[in-house]
Structure 1
Amino acid sequence: MSQFNELARNGLWSNNPALVQLLGLCPLLAVSGSVVNALGLGLATLLVLVGSNVSVSLIRHHVPETVRLPAFVMIIAAFVTCADLLMQAYTYQLHQILGIFIPLIVTNCAILGRADGFAAKNPLLPAATDGLMMGLGFAAVLVVLGAVRELFGQGTLFTQMDLLFGPIAANWGITVFPHYDFLFLVLPPGAFFATGLLIALKNLIDDRKARLRATQQPNSPTENRRVRVTGTIR
Protein backbone atom coordinates (compact mmCIF):
# COMPACT_ATOMS: atom_id res chain seq x y z
CA MET A 1 0.00 0.00 0.00
CA SER A 2 2.91 2.37 0.65
CA GLN A 3 3.95 2.06 -3.00
CA PHE A 4 0.47 2.94 -4.24
CA ASN A 5 0.22 5.83 -1.80
CA GLU A 6 3.52 7.11 -3.13
CA LEU A 7 2.30 6.79 -6.72
CA ALA A 8 -0.87 8.68 -5.86
CA ARG A 9 1.05 11.43 -4.09
CA ASN A 10 3.50 11.76 -6.99
CA GLY A 11 0.83 11.91 -9.68
CA LEU A 12 -1.53 14.26 -7.92
CA TRP A 13 0.97 16.57 -6.24
CA SER A 14 4.68 15.90 -5.70
CA ASN A 15 5.54 15.01 -9.32
CA ASN A 16 2.50 16.42 -11.11
CA PRO A 17 3.15 16.31 -14.87
CA ALA A 18 1.86 19.85 -15.45
CA LEU A 19 3.01 21.74 -12.35
CA VAL A 20 6.32 19.98 -11.58
CA GLN A 21 7.50 18.17 -14.70
CA LEU A 22 6.06 20.93 -16.94
CA LEU A 23 5.05 18.41 -19.60
CA GLY A 24 2.11 18.66 -21.96
CA LEU A 25 1.99 22.44 -21.72
CA CYS A 26 0.89 22.94 -25.34
CA PRO A 27 -2.62 21.46 -24.90
CA LEU A 28 -2.73 22.65 -21.30
CA LEU A 29 -2.44 26.27 -22.40
CA ALA A 30 -4.38 25.98 -25.64
CA VAL A 31 -7.67 24.40 -24.59
CA SER A 32 -8.05 25.52 -20.97
CA GLY A 33 -10.28 28.48 -21.81
CA SER A 34 -13.27 26.82 -20.18
CA VAL A 35 -14.02 23.95 -17.82
CA VAL A 36 -15.73 21.78 -20.43
CA ASN A 37 -12.82 22.02 -22.87
CA ALA A 38 -10.29 21.27 -20.13
CA LEU A 39 -12.31 18.35 -18.77
CA GLY A 40 -12.78 16.84 -22.22
CA LEU A 41 -9.06 16.89 -22.99
CA GLY A 42 -8.20 15.75 -19.46
CA LEU A 43 -10.42 12.66 -19.73
CA ALA A 44 -8.97 11.80 -23.14
CA THR A 45 -5.43 12.12 -21.81
CA LEU A 46 -6.33 10.01 -18.78
CA LEU A 47 -7.67 7.23 -21.01
CA VAL A 48 -4.52 7.24 -23.12
CA LEU A 49 -2.20 7.30 -20.09
CA VAL A 50 -3.84 4.34 -18.36
CA GLY A 51 -4.18 2.30 -21.55
CA SER A 52 -0.63 2.90 -22.74
CA ASN A 53 0.89 2.20 -19.31
CA VAL A 54 -1.01 -1.07 -19.02
CA SER A 55 -0.07 -2.18 -22.54
CA VAL A 56 3.60 -1.24 -22.17
CA SER A 57 3.81 -3.07 -18.85
CA LEU A 58 2.33 -6.22 -20.40
CA ILE A 59 4.81 -6.33 -23.29
CA ARG A 60 7.88 -4.97 -21.49
CA HIS A 61 9.70 -8.33 -21.57
CA HIS A 62 8.89 -9.05 -25.21
CA VAL A 63 10.02 -5.88 -27.02
CA PRO A 64 13.64 -5.64 -28.18
CA GLU A 65 15.58 -2.62 -27.01
CA THR A 66 16.13 -1.46 -30.60
CA VAL A 67 12.40 -0.94 -31.29
CA ARG A 68 11.28 -0.06 -27.78
CA LEU A 69 10.43 3.61 -28.32
CA PRO A 70 8.74 3.12 -31.72
CA ALA A 71 6.62 0.36 -30.20
CA PHE A 72 5.60 2.63 -27.34
CA VAL A 73 4.67 5.42 -29.76
CA MET A 74 2.52 3.01 -31.78
CA ILE A 75 0.73 1.88 -28.63
CA ILE A 76 0.08 5.49 -27.59
CA ALA A 77 -1.13 6.34 -31.09
CA ALA A 78 -3.57 3.43 -31.01
CA PHE A 79 -5.14 4.63 -27.76
CA VAL A 80 -5.24 8.22 -29.02
CA THR A 81 -7.12 6.97 -32.08
CA CYS A 82 -9.60 5.19 -29.78
CA ALA A 83 -10.12 8.36 -27.73
CA ASP A 84 -10.51 10.41 -30.91
CA LEU A 85 -13.12 8.06 -32.36
CA LEU A 86 -15.02 7.90 -29.06
CA MET A 87 -15.21 11.68 -28.88
CA GLN A 88 -16.34 11.87 -32.49
CA ALA A 89 -19.10 9.37 -31.74
CA TYR A 90 -20.40 10.71 -28.43
CA THR A 91 -19.20 14.32 -28.06
CA TYR A 92 -18.89 15.49 -31.65
CA GLN A 93 -19.26 19.23 -31.01
CA LEU A 94 -16.65 19.17 -28.26
CA HIS A 95 -14.40 17.15 -30.54
CA GLN A 96 -14.72 19.89 -33.15
CA ILE A 97 -13.80 22.55 -30.60
CA LEU A 98 -10.74 20.69 -29.34
CA GLY A 99 -9.72 19.99 -32.91
CA ILE A 100 -6.10 19.05 -33.51
CA PHE A 101 -5.28 18.83 -29.79
CA ILE A 102 -6.88 15.39 -29.50
CA PRO A 103 -4.54 13.77 -32.09
CA LEU A 104 -1.65 15.75 -30.61
CA ILE A 105 -1.96 13.72 -27.40
CA VAL A 106 0.40 11.32 -29.19
CA THR A 107 3.18 13.89 -28.80
CA ASN A 108 2.47 14.58 -25.13
CA CYS A 109 5.81 14.01 -23.40
CA ALA A 110 4.10 13.09 -20.14
CA ILE A 111 2.57 9.97 -21.73
CA LEU A 112 5.72 8.73 -23.45
CA GLY A 113 7.75 9.61 -20.37
CA ARG A 114 5.58 7.49 -18.07
CA ALA A 115 5.54 4.62 -20.57
CA ASP A 116 9.33 4.58 -20.92
CA GLY A 117 10.28 5.72 -17.43
CA PHE A 118 7.85 3.69 -15.31
CA ALA A 119 5.54 1.26 -17.12
CA ALA A 120 8.42 -0.38 -19.01
CA LYS A 121 10.09 -1.24 -15.69
CA ASN A 122 7.17 -2.21 -13.45
CA PRO A 123 4.39 -4.84 -13.22
CA LEU A 124 0.84 -4.29 -14.40
CA LEU A 125 -0.87 -2.95 -11.27
CA PRO A 126 1.73 -0.30 -10.34
CA ALA A 127 1.91 0.76 -14.00
CA ALA A 128 -1.87 1.14 -14.20
CA THR A 129 -1.91 3.06 -10.91
CA ASP A 130 0.85 5.36 -12.11
CA GLY A 131 -1.04 6.09 -15.34
CA LEU A 132 -4.27 6.72 -13.45
CA MET A 133 -2.72 9.09 -10.93
CA MET A 134 -0.63 10.98 -13.48
CA GLY A 135 -3.70 11.32 -15.67
CA LEU A 136 -5.83 12.53 -12.79
CA GLY A 137 -3.13 15.02 -11.78
CA PHE A 138 -2.90 16.39 -15.31
CA ALA A 139 -6.69 16.54 -15.68
CA ALA A 140 -7.06 18.27 -12.31
CA VAL A 141 -4.64 21.02 -13.33
CA LEU A 142 -6.46 21.39 -16.64
CA VAL A 143 -9.84 21.75 -14.92
CA VAL A 144 -8.57 24.21 -12.30
CA LEU A 145 -6.88 26.28 -14.99
CA GLY A 146 -10.02 26.17 -17.11
CA ALA A 147 -12.17 27.24 -14.17
CA VAL A 148 -9.86 30.16 -13.35
CA ARG A 149 -9.74 31.39 -16.93
CA GLU A 150 -13.48 30.95 -17.48
CA LEU A 151 -14.42 32.63 -14.20
CA PHE A 152 -12.07 35.61 -14.36
CA GLY A 153 -12.07 35.86 -18.14
CA GLN A 154 -15.79 35.54 -18.89
CA GLY A 155 -17.47 35.71 -15.49
CA THR A 156 -19.06 32.26 -15.88
CA LEU A 157 -18.53 28.68 -14.74
CA PHE A 158 -19.52 25.30 -16.23
CA THR A 159 -21.01 26.75 -19.40
CA GLN A 160 -21.72 24.39 -22.33
CA MET A 161 -21.23 21.32 -20.16
CA ASP A 162 -23.89 19.65 -22.32
CA LEU A 163 -21.17 19.27 -24.96
CA LEU A 164 -19.63 16.60 -22.73
CA PHE A 165 -22.49 15.27 -20.60
CA GLY A 166 -25.45 15.73 -22.93
CA PRO A 167 -28.79 17.53 -22.41
CA ILE A 168 -28.82 16.75 -18.68
CA ALA A 169 -26.04 19.32 -18.21
CA ALA A 170 -27.64 22.07 -20.29
CA ASN A 171 -28.47 24.15 -17.19
CA TRP A 172 -25.26 23.61 -15.26
CA GLY A 173 -23.80 26.95 -16.33
CA ILE A 174 -23.41 29.64 -13.66
CA THR A 175 -23.08 33.36 -14.34
CA VAL A 176 -20.95 34.70 -11.49
CA PHE A 177 -20.16 38.16 -12.88
CA PRO A 178 -22.88 39.41 -15.27
CA HIS A 179 -21.76 41.52 -18.25
CA TYR A 180 -18.10 40.79 -17.47
CA ASP A 181 -15.28 40.16 -19.93
CA PHE A 182 -11.52 40.19 -19.29
CA LEU A 183 -9.96 39.35 -22.65
CA PHE A 184 -6.43 38.86 -21.28
CA LEU A 185 -7.30 35.61 -19.47
CA VAL A 186 -9.27 34.29 -22.41
CA LEU A 187 -6.30 34.63 -24.78
CA PRO A 188 -3.10 32.47 -24.68
CA PRO A 189 -1.05 35.03 -22.66
CA GLY A 190 -3.62 34.68 -19.89
CA ALA A 191 -3.06 30.93 -19.92
CA PHE A 192 0.68 31.44 -19.31
CA PHE A 193 -0.08 33.90 -16.52
CA ALA A 194 -2.63 31.63 -14.80
CA THR A 195 -0.36 28.59 -15.09
CA GLY A 196 2.49 30.54 -13.52
CA LEU A 197 0.23 31.50 -10.62
CA LEU A 198 -0.75 27.85 -10.07
CA ILE A 199 2.91 26.77 -10.08
CA ALA A 200 3.81 29.56 -7.66
CA LEU A 201 0.91 28.59 -5.37
CA LYS A 202 2.04 24.95 -5.31
CA ASN A 203 5.62 25.95 -4.53
CA LEU A 204 4.40 28.22 -1.73
CA ILE A 205 2.34 25.41 -0.19
CA ASP A 206 5.27 22.98 -0.42
CA ASP A 207 7.61 25.51 1.16
CA ARG A 208 5.26 26.16 4.08
CA LYS A 209 4.74 22.43 4.63
CA ALA A 210 8.52 21.89 4.67
CA ARG A 211 9.00 24.69 7.20
CA LEU A 212 6.22 23.29 9.37
CA ARG A 213 7.80 19.83 9.35
CA ALA A 214 11.17 21.34 10.20
CA THR A 215 9.78 23.15 13.24
CA GLN A 216 7.92 20.06 14.47
CA GLN A 217 10.88 17.67 14.19
CA PRO A 218 13.31 17.31 17.12
CA ASN A 219 16.90 18.40 16.80
CA SER A 220 18.96 16.34 14.39
CA PRO A 221 21.69 14.01 15.78
CA THR A 222 24.34 16.41 14.47
CA GLU A 223 22.81 19.27 16.43
CA ASN A 224 22.55 17.11 19.55
CA ARG A 225 26.22 16.16 19.28
CA ARG A 226 27.14 19.81 18.87
CA VAL A 227 25.25 20.67 22.04
CA ARG A 228 26.96 17.88 23.98
CA VAL A 229 30.45 18.87 22.78
CA THR A 230 29.78 22.50 23.64
CA GLY A 231 28.70 21.45 27.11
CA THR A 232 31.85 19.39 27.57
CA ILE A 233 34.13 22.28 26.59
CA ARG A 234 32.40 24.49 29.08
Structure 2
Amino acid sequence: MADVDYKKITRDGLWTNNPATVQILGLCPLLAVTGTVVNALGLGLATLVVLMGSNAAVSMIRGYVTDAVRLPAFVMIIAALVTIIEMLMRAFTFELYEILGIFIPLIVTNCTVLGRADAFASKHPVLPSLVDGFMMGAGFLVILVILGALREVLGQGTLFDNMQLLFGPAAAGWRLEVIPDYPGFLLAVLPPGAFLGLGLIIAGKNVIDRRLKDARKARQAEAPKATRRVRTTGKV
Protein backbone atom coordinates (compact mmCIF):
# COMPACT_ATOMS: atom_id res chain seq x y z
CA MET A 1 0.00 0.00 0.00
CA ALA A 2 1.30 3.44 -0.87
CA ASP A 3 2.33 5.79 1.90
CA VAL A 4 -0.56 7.75 3.36
CA ASP A 5 -0.44 11.49 2.73
CA TYR A 6 -1.48 12.99 6.07
CA LYS A 7 -1.22 16.52 4.71
CA LYS A 8 -3.78 15.67 2.05
CA ILE A 9 -6.06 14.06 4.65
CA THR A 10 -5.86 17.21 6.75
CA ARG A 11 -6.41 19.52 3.80
CA ASP A 12 -9.35 17.47 2.53
CA GLY A 13 -11.12 17.37 5.89
CA LEU A 14 -10.67 21.01 6.79
CA TRP A 15 -10.97 22.64 3.38
CA THR A 16 -10.90 20.99 -0.05
CA ASN A 17 -13.39 18.20 0.76
CA ASN A 18 -15.12 19.66 3.81
CA PRO A 19 -18.31 17.70 4.58
CA ALA A 20 -20.44 20.82 5.02
CA THR A 21 -19.14 23.27 2.41
CA VAL A 22 -17.98 20.92 -0.38
CA GLN A 23 -19.74 17.58 0.01
CA ILE A 24 -22.87 19.35 1.37
CA LEU A 25 -23.65 16.42 3.68
CA GLY A 26 -25.38 16.38 7.05
CA LEU A 27 -27.45 19.44 6.23
CA CYS A 28 -30.42 18.48 8.40
CA PRO A 29 -28.60 18.74 11.77
CA LEU A 30 -26.28 21.41 10.41
CA LEU A 31 -29.18 23.77 9.75
CA ALA A 32 -31.46 22.70 12.58
CA VAL A 33 -29.31 23.06 15.69
CA THR A 34 -26.92 25.90 14.85
CA GLY A 35 -29.01 28.63 16.48
CA THR A 36 -26.27 29.11 19.10
CA VAL A 37 -22.61 28.22 19.49
CA VAL A 38 -23.21 25.77 22.35
CA ASN A 39 -25.72 23.77 20.31
CA ALA A 40 -23.38 23.66 17.32
CA LEU A 41 -20.43 22.70 19.50
CA GLY A 42 -22.35 19.91 21.23
CA LEU A 43 -23.49 18.30 17.98
CA GLY A 44 -20.13 18.88 16.30
CA LEU A 45 -18.16 17.20 19.09
CA ALA A 46 -20.57 14.25 19.14
CA THR A 47 -20.20 13.81 15.37
CA LEU A 48 -16.40 14.08 15.58
CA VAL A 49 -16.19 11.35 18.23
CA VAL A 50 -18.48 9.07 16.22
CA LEU A 51 -16.44 9.66 13.05
CA MET A 52 -13.18 8.80 14.79
CA GLY A 53 -14.61 5.75 16.54
CA SER A 54 -16.39 4.36 13.50
CA ASN A 55 -13.38 4.89 11.24
CA ALA A 56 -11.10 3.09 13.70
CA ALA A 57 -13.52 0.19 14.21
CA VAL A 58 -14.23 -0.23 10.50
CA SER A 59 -10.51 -0.19 9.74
CA MET A 60 -9.87 -2.94 12.31
CA ILE A 61 -12.52 -5.27 10.87
CA ARG A 62 -11.97 -4.43 7.20
CA GLY A 63 -10.29 -7.75 6.49
CA TYR A 64 -12.94 -9.87 8.18
CA VAL A 65 -16.24 -8.74 6.66
CA THR A 66 -17.49 -9.72 3.24
CA ASP A 67 -19.09 -7.38 0.74
CA ALA A 68 -22.50 -8.91 1.49
CA VAL A 69 -22.53 -7.66 5.10
CA ARG A 70 -20.10 -4.76 4.80
CA LEU A 71 -22.57 -1.85 4.93
CA PRO A 72 -24.86 -3.42 7.58
CA ALA A 73 -21.79 -4.03 9.76
CA PHE A 74 -20.69 -0.41 9.33
CA VAL A 75 -24.16 0.86 10.26
CA MET A 76 -24.22 -1.34 13.38
CA ILE A 77 -20.87 0.05 14.49
CA ILE A 78 -22.01 3.64 13.94
CA ALA A 79 -25.32 3.00 15.72
CA ALA A 80 -23.52 1.50 18.72
CA LEU A 81 -21.20 4.50 18.99
CA VAL A 82 -24.08 6.97 18.66
CA THR A 83 -25.95 5.11 21.42
CA ILE A 84 -22.92 5.45 23.71
CA ILE A 85 -22.64 9.18 22.95
CA GLU A 86 -26.37 9.61 23.55
CA MET A 87 -26.16 7.87 26.93
CA LEU A 88 -23.15 9.96 27.96
CA MET A 89 -24.90 13.19 27.01
CA ARG A 90 -28.01 12.16 28.93
CA ALA A 91 -25.83 11.49 31.96
CA PHE A 92 -23.60 14.55 31.91
CA THR A 93 -25.21 17.22 29.70
CA PHE A 94 -28.89 16.39 29.96
CA GLU A 95 -30.24 19.90 29.26
CA LEU A 96 -28.15 20.18 26.09
CA TYR A 97 -29.21 16.67 25.11
CA GLU A 98 -32.87 17.72 25.40
CA ILE A 99 -32.22 20.79 23.23
CA LEU A 100 -30.47 18.77 20.51
CA GLY A 101 -33.18 16.12 20.76
CA ILE A 102 -33.57 13.77 17.81
CA PHE A 103 -30.50 15.13 16.04
CA ILE A 104 -28.13 13.13 18.25
CA PRO A 105 -29.63 9.75 17.21
CA LEU A 106 -29.77 11.02 13.64
CA ILE A 107 -25.96 11.02 13.52
CA VAL A 108 -26.43 7.36 12.53
CA THR A 109 -27.92 8.53 9.23
CA ASN A 110 -25.33 11.24 8.63
CA CYS A 111 -23.91 10.47 5.19
CA THR A 112 -20.51 11.83 6.21
CA VAL A 113 -20.02 9.14 8.86
CA LEU A 114 -21.02 6.18 6.69
CA GLY A 115 -19.31 7.71 3.67
CA ARG A 116 -15.91 7.98 5.38
CA ALA A 117 -16.25 4.47 6.80
CA ASP A 118 -16.90 3.06 3.33
CA ALA A 119 -14.67 5.29 1.23
CA PHE A 120 -11.62 5.55 3.50
CA ALA A 121 -11.57 3.45 6.68
CA SER A 122 -12.47 0.20 4.89
CA LYS A 123 -9.36 0.60 2.71
CA HIS A 124 -6.74 1.97 5.12
CA PRO A 125 -5.01 1.06 8.42
CA VAL A 126 -6.23 2.30 11.79
CA LEU A 127 -4.01 5.36 12.25
CA PRO A 128 -4.79 7.03 8.89
CA SER A 129 -8.46 6.19 9.44
CA LEU A 130 -8.40 7.86 12.85
CA VAL A 131 -6.76 10.95 11.36
CA ASP A 132 -9.28 11.03 8.53
CA GLY A 133 -12.18 10.76 11.00
CA PHE A 134 -10.73 13.50 13.16
CA MET A 135 -10.12 15.89 10.27
CA MET A 136 -13.52 15.31 8.65
CA GLY A 137 -15.18 15.74 12.03
CA ALA A 138 -13.12 18.85 12.76
CA GLY A 139 -14.05 20.36 9.40
CA PHE A 140 -17.73 19.70 10.09
CA LEU A 141 -17.37 21.09 13.63
CA VAL A 142 -15.72 24.31 12.46
CA ILE A 143 -18.54 25.06 10.02
CA LEU A 144 -21.14 24.26 12.68
CA VAL A 145 -19.50 26.66 15.14
CA ILE A 146 -19.06 29.44 12.57
CA LEU A 147 -22.68 29.15 11.50
CA GLY A 148 -23.84 28.96 15.12
CA ALA A 149 -21.84 32.05 16.04
CA LEU A 150 -23.17 33.97 13.05
CA ARG A 151 -26.78 33.08 13.83
CA GLU A 152 -26.42 33.73 17.56
CA VAL A 153 -24.94 37.19 17.05
CA LEU A 154 -27.48 38.18 14.41
CA GLY A 155 -30.39 36.48 16.16
CA GLN A 156 -29.95 37.56 19.76
CA GLY A 157 -26.88 39.78 19.89
CA THR A 158 -24.86 37.44 22.12
CA LEU A 159 -22.02 34.96 21.81
CA PHE A 160 -21.30 31.83 23.89
CA ASP A 161 -24.67 31.97 25.61
CA ASN A 162 -25.56 28.97 27.82
CA MET A 163 -22.11 27.43 27.53
CA GLN A 164 -22.65 25.96 30.99
CA LEU A 165 -24.90 23.38 29.33
CA LEU A 166 -21.79 21.77 27.86
CA PHE A 167 -18.90 22.82 30.12
CA GLY A 168 -20.59 23.12 33.50
CA PRO A 169 -21.41 26.04 35.84
CA ALA A 170 -17.94 27.56 35.47
CA ALA A 171 -18.75 28.41 31.83
CA ALA A 172 -21.79 30.53 32.72
CA GLY A 173 -19.59 33.64 32.71
CA TRP A 174 -18.40 33.07 29.14
CA ARG A 175 -21.46 34.83 27.72
CA LEU A 176 -20.62 37.91 25.68
CA GLU A 177 -23.17 40.61 24.90
CA VAL A 178 -21.98 41.59 21.44
CA ILE A 179 -24.84 44.03 20.75
CA PRO A 180 -26.28 45.62 23.94
CA ASP A 181 -30.06 46.00 24.16
CA TYR A 182 -30.45 44.07 20.91
CA PRO A 183 -34.12 43.48 20.05
CA GLY A 184 -33.35 40.26 18.18
CA PHE A 185 -33.64 39.25 14.55
CA LEU A 186 -36.07 36.36 14.16
CA LEU A 187 -34.99 35.37 10.64
CA ALA A 188 -31.50 34.51 11.87
CA VAL A 189 -32.74 31.88 14.32
CA LEU A 190 -35.27 30.33 11.93
CA PRO A 191 -34.39 27.69 9.27
CA PRO A 192 -34.26 30.29 6.44
CA GLY A 193 -31.57 32.10 8.40
CA ALA A 194 -29.57 28.89 8.59
CA PHE A 195 -29.77 28.44 4.81
CA LEU A 196 -28.69 32.05 4.25
CA GLY A 197 -25.83 31.73 6.72
CA LEU A 198 -24.53 28.52 5.18
CA GLY A 199 -24.81 30.08 1.73
CA LEU A 200 -22.64 33.00 2.87
CA ILE A 201 -20.05 30.63 4.29
CA ILE A 202 -19.91 28.57 1.08
CA ALA A 203 -19.73 31.76 -1.01
CA GLY A 204 -16.84 33.02 1.13
CA LYS A 205 -14.97 29.74 0.67
CA ASN A 206 -15.52 29.87 -3.09
CA VAL A 207 -14.15 33.42 -3.24
CA ILE A 208 -11.03 32.39 -1.33
CA ASP A 209 -10.56 29.32 -3.55
CA ARG A 210 -10.90 31.45 -6.68
CA ARG A 211 -8.34 33.97 -5.46
CA LEU A 212 -5.90 31.23 -4.49
CA LYS A 213 -6.34 29.64 -7.92
CA ASP A 214 -5.74 32.96 -9.69
CA ALA A 215 -2.64 33.60 -7.59
CA ARG A 216 -1.32 30.11 -8.40
CA LYS A 217 -1.88 30.67 -12.13
CA ALA A 218 -0.10 34.01 -11.91
CA ARG A 219 2.93 32.38 -10.26
CA GLN A 220 2.98 29.62 -12.87
CA ALA A 221 2.82 32.19 -15.68
CA GLU A 222 5.63 34.22 -14.10
CA ALA A 223 7.97 31.25 -13.69
CA PRO A 224 8.78 30.76 -17.44
CA LYS A 225 9.38 34.51 -17.81
CA ALA A 226 11.84 34.48 -14.92
CA THR A 227 13.61 31.46 -16.45
CA ARG A 228 13.94 33.23 -19.81
CA ARG A 229 15.34 36.34 -18.12
CA VAL A 230 17.97 34.24 -16.36
CA ARG A 231 18.97 32.53 -19.60
CA THR A 232 19.18 35.88 -21.42
CA THR A 233 21.17 37.79 -18.84
CA GLY A 234 23.09 34.88 -17.40
CA LYS A 235 22.26 36.17 -13.90
CA VAL A 236 19.89 34.91 -11.27
TM-score of Structure 1 vs Structure 2, range by shorter chain: over 0.9
Is the aligned partner of 1:69 residue 2:54? no
Name the TM-score, length of structure 1 as normaliser: 0.92
Q: 2:202 corresponds to which residue?
A: 199
Is the aligned partner of 1:38 residue 2:40? yes
Offset, 1:219: 6.1
Aligned 1:132-151 pairs, distance under 5 A: 132-151=134-153
| Matched residue type, 1:114 | R
Distance in 1 separating the partners of 2:28 and 2:223:
44
Match of 1:186 among 181, 185, 189: 189
| Cα deviations by residue, 1:110-162 (Å, 9 ceiling, x for unpaired) | 00000001000111111110000000000000000000000111100000000
Task: Give the length in aligned residue pairs.
Answer: 222
Distance in 2 separating the partners of 1:219 and 1:212:
11
Q: 1:172 corresponds to which residue?
A: 174
Q: 1:49 corresponds to which residue?
A: 51
Name the TM-score, length of structure 2 as normaliser: 0.92
Give unpaired runs (5+ residues) of structure 1: 225-234
Q: 2:154 corresponds to which residue?
A: 152
Offset, 1:220: 8.4
Distance in 1 separating the partners of 2:19 and 2:46:
15
Match of 1:15 among 4, 17, 21: 17
Distance in 2 separating the partners of 1:64 and 1:17:
27
| Matched residue type, 1:140 | V
Offset, 1:179: 2.4
Runs of 4+ in 1 over 2 A off after TM superposition: 218-221
- Residue 23 of structure 1 aligns to a residue in which SS? coil
Offset, 1:25: 0.5
8 Å CA contact 2:4, 2:128 repeated in 1: no
Offset, 1:178: 1.9
| Matched residue type, 1:136 | A
Is the aligned partner of 1:214 residue 2:217? yes
| Cα deviations by residue, 1:53-75 (Å, 9 ceiling, x for unpaired) | 00000000100110100000000
Distance in 1 separating the partners of 2:178 and 2:23:
33
Q: 1:231 corresponds to which residue?
A: none
| Matched residue type, 2:174 | W
CA change 1:126–1:2 in 2 (3 A) is closer
What percentage of aligned pairs have identical amino acids?
Answer: 62
Structural RMSD (CA): 1.4
| Cα deviations by residue, 1:50-99 (Å, 9 ceiling, x for unpaired) | 00000000000100110100000000000000110110111010000000
Offset, 1:205: 0.2
| Matched residue type, 1:213 | R
Give unpaired runs (5+ residues) of structure 2: 228-236
Distance in 1 separating the partners of 2:82 and 2:4:
31
- Residue 68 of structure 2 aligns to a residue in which SS? helix
Distance in 2 separating the partners of 1:83 and 1:199:
29
| Matched residue type, 1:82 | I
Match of 2:109 among 107, 110, 113: 107
Aligned 1:113-124 pairs, distance under 5 A: 113-124=115-126
Offset, 1:216: 1.0
